[in-house]
Amino acid sequence: MTQILIIIATLIFLFLGANFFIDGAVALAKRLGMSSLLVGVIIIGFGTSAPEIIVSIFAAVDGSSGIALGNAYGSNIVNIGIILGLAALISPILVHRTTLFIEMPILLGISALSFFFMANGTLTRMEAGILLLIFLLYMSYTLLQSKKSQTHMHEEKPAHLLPSWRTVLYLIGGLITLVISAKYFVSAASLLAKDLGVSDLVIGLTIVSLGTSLPELASTVMASIKRQHDMALGNIIGSNIFNTLVVVGVAGMISPIYRIDREIIYRDIPVMIAFSIFLLLFSISRKKEHRINRLEGTIFLLGYLLYLLLLFKKV
């Protein structure tokens, strides 16, 4: 009972810390003259994935590879199965051609690469470094495209910004809150796994991944309510790319994983790839207007429930 209360409390602080960190980062970026598009691509994209990477760093340091990998891949499954499913139920999501023909294939490609790297049951520092290098190349491409799209656009000066002291307070306070809450979150999750007699992988794929996906859930659902389709879908795909490349890459660089659970290789990564494939297929199923309708959203939600049944089948 104590571990559950700690998990709930730390999840709340993870969510609050991420929100403060994002607000401070956006204010700082605006002060540095970054465009709103670049702020969305870099700052918001990183901020909503901050819980995942902080939690996985502590899990890697503690030697809990199941939590580290389960957190990354479980969050990707949650992002499409639950968050995108809910967003599509709220409002059908239009899919931009760039997202359909560039970001989605990239996501599928790096997912397949993850499977290739881990098929032998290990993740070396070199392989982790390759994942991080691919992320740097992807970000370079994204920044280049963002600058091109801004060439003929007039970027309005923001009406008002957070005071400097509040910007610094939000940045530092949000980061400290993330670090401290993540440390206690990982410890409580590991102890809970032992108490329940399940592996830390199952805890990482469920409780940890659901908890660290709260920022994505909040931002994506709000974007869907406001019918900001590019932001809703872009947030999900960007987060999945970040999780696959950076969260896994950083965890592998800190502590190479020489014994990966077979379930990750033959169950969780294939499920993650399957969700990504269906996302692409649903998007191209309509020639005139690419979109994810409520029916597809329902299928994603049902698919996640089936995944949970598969996950706990042997527990």
- Three-class HEC string of 220-242: HHHHHHCCCHHHHHHHHHHHHHH
| pLDDT grade for 165, boundaries at 50, 70 and 90 | confident
Counting residues of the chain whose pLDDT is more than 90, the rounded percentage is: 30
52-56, 67-71, 129-133, 175-179: which has the minimum mean pLDDT?
A: 175-179
pLDDT value for 286: 65
Look at 36 and 16; give whichever has higher pLDDT: 16
Q: Distance of alpha carbon 7 from its chain centroid, rounded?
A: 19
Average pLDDT over residues 183-203: 78
Q: What is the pLDDT of residues 278-301, one digit of tens each?
A: 999 998 876 667 888 899 999 999
Residue 211 predicted with pLDDT over 60: yes
Q: What is the pLDDT of residues 217-227, one digit of tens each?
A: 776 776 677 67
Q: 35 and 146 in contact (C-beta within 8 Å)? A: yes
| pLDDT grade for 160, boundaries at 50, 70 and 90 | low
pLDDT value for 141: 84
pLDDT value for 41: 54
Residue 5 predicted with pLDDT over 80: yes
Average pLDDT over residues 139-168: 68
Q: 200 and 66 in contact (C-beta within 8 Å)? A: yes
Look at 6 and 28; give whichever has higher pLDDT: 6
| pLDDT grade for 64, boundaries at 50, 70 and 90 | confident
pLDDT value for 55: 83
Residue 173 predicted with pLDDT over 80: yes
pLDDT value for 314: 58
Going from the N-terminus, what domains does the chain have, and what CATH number goes with each? 2-148+162-311 (1.20.1420.30)
Counting residues of the chain whose pLDDT is more than 70, the rounded percentage is: 83
pLDDT value for 40: 54
Residue 18 predicted with pLDDT over 90: no
pLDDT value for 228: 67
Computed over every residue of the chain, the mean pLDDT equals 82
Q: What is the pLDDT of residues 269-278, one digit of tens each?
A: 999 999 999 9
Residue 142 predicted with pLDDT over 90: no
pLDDT value for 111: 95
| pLDDT grade for 42, boundaries at 50, 70 and 90 | low
Residue 80 predicted with pLDDT over 90: yes
Provide the residue type at 68 as one letter: A
DSSP the chain: -HHHHHHHHHHHHHHHHHHHHHHHHHHHHHHTT--HHHIIIIIIHHHHTHHHHHHHHHHHHTT-HHHHHHHHHHHHHHIIIIIIHHHHHHSPEE--HHIIIIIHHHHHHHHHHHHHHHTTS-B-HHHHHHHHHHHHHHHHHHHHHHHHHTTT---PPPS----HHHHHHHHHHHHHHHHHHHHHHHHHHHHHHHHHT--HHHHIIIIIHHHHTHHHHHHHHHHHHTT-HHHHHHHHHHHHHHIIIIIHHHHHHHS-BS---HHIIIIIHHHHHHHHHHHHHHHHS-SSS-EE-HHHHHHHHHHHHHHHHHHTTT-
Average pLDDT over residues 47-66: 80
